[in-house]
Amino acid sequence: MTVKSSNPYYHIIYWFLVLITITLVFGSSWGNSMAAFYFVCMLLPIVLGTSYFFNYILVPRFFIPKKYLKFSLYTFYTMVCSLYLESIVIMFAYVYLGNYSFKGFPPNASDTVLLAVILYLLVFIGSVLLMIKQIKESQALVKALLEEKEKMKTAVLEIKSNRKLLKIPYDEIIYIESLSDYIKINTTNGAFTSKEKISKLNESLPDMFIRIHRSYIINKSKILSHSYSEVEVGVFTLTIGRSYRTDVKQQLTEM
């Protein structure tokens, strides 16, 4: 059971849309989309810095633990710093885009209040989207934990072998091998075969098992050693499939 970390593409797409949207809004009011694009590109690092500082520093350290006084104080400091940096951007834009003159210079560009509203509106929207994403991930984690708990209730693998129902304790299983249309379960008390699909069986096994190859599922507690391409379980040395190596490495590192 693994919950994936935050996808960087989610952030890239969000801020790309932000860049395009603000450029269009300012460009239409200025009548100069290129100048608006340059201005927004200069403003964007401040938006990014403020957003991530607010979402990943202030919220988890002060808002979630209910330290509201410190949260309000540091949020105010963050706003002041952001506005100060915005003023620097405005001055730079005045020099670079306005050619030392405010004549014909887009009036919205010098409106610090408008910039602050846009900045913190973006931070707020980003916070809401991030919160929704975190809630979904938390729900997925809770669901996975409940499923894991359900799998571990019996602590045995029930299979049909030679028309008999076998109950094999999980801690006795060394590894499971797929052989054409059936599986072979190698245990500390011998080997058993059953007409099962290894992919279907993998879904029902608890987190103590990991699939390392299209043909192998191993018991992590039976691992003696492992390398990039092989893992040793009991007296067996099994190959790690290429498509499984990244996930196997991550899970074995966390053990």
- Report d(CA 242, CA 238) in Å as an integer: 13
What is the chain's percent helix, strand, coil content, to nearest 5? 60, 20, 20
Query: What percent of the chain lies above the pLDDT cut of 70?
Result: 78
pLDDT confidence tier of residue 99, bands split at 50, 70 and 90: low
Q: Is the pLDDT of residue 76 over 60?
A: yes
Higher pLDDT, 203 or 1: 203
For the chain, how long is the longest CA-to-CA vector? Answer: 91
Q: For the domain made up of 156-253, give the CATH fold.
A: OB fold (Dihydrolipoamide Acetyltransferase, E2P) (2.40.50)
pLDDT confidence tier of residue 3, bands split at 50, 70 and 90: very low
Higher pLDDT, 54 or 94: 54
- Report d(CA 63, CA 70) in Å as an integer: 8
Q: Is the pLDDT of residue 191 over 50?
A: yes
Span 12-36, average pLDDT: 75
**pLDDT computed for residue 32 by the predictor:** 67
Q: Is the pLDDT of residue 13 over 70?
A: yes
Q: Which of 84-98, 134-148, 151-165 has the highest mean pLDDT?
A: 151-165
pTM over 0.75: no
The domain ranges of the chain are 8-150, 156-253
Higher pLDDT, 173 or 43: 173
Q: Which of 14-28, 92-106, 213-227 has the highest mean pLDDT?
A: 213-227
Higher pLDDT, 193 or 60: 193
Which of these ranges, 36-50, 67-81, 158-172, 227-241, has the smallest mean pLDDT? 36-50
Q: Residue 116: which residues within 8 A CB-CB, separation 6 or more?
A: 79, 82, 83, 86
Higher pLDDT, 37 or 214: 214
204-222 pLDDT, tens per residue?
888 889 999 999 999 999 9
What are φ and ψ of residue 218, in 5° steps? Answer: -115, 160
* Torsional class of 39: left (φ above 0), alpha (ψ -120 to 50), beta (otherwise): alpha
Q: Is the pLDDT of residue 1 over 50?
A: no
- Report d(CA 64, CA 45) in Å as an integer: 26
**pLDDT computed for residue 6 by the predictor:** 56
Higher pLDDT, 227 or 142: 227
Q: Where are the beta strands (DSSP E) in 74-222?
A: 156-161, 164-169, 173-179, 182-187, 190-194, 209-213, 216-219
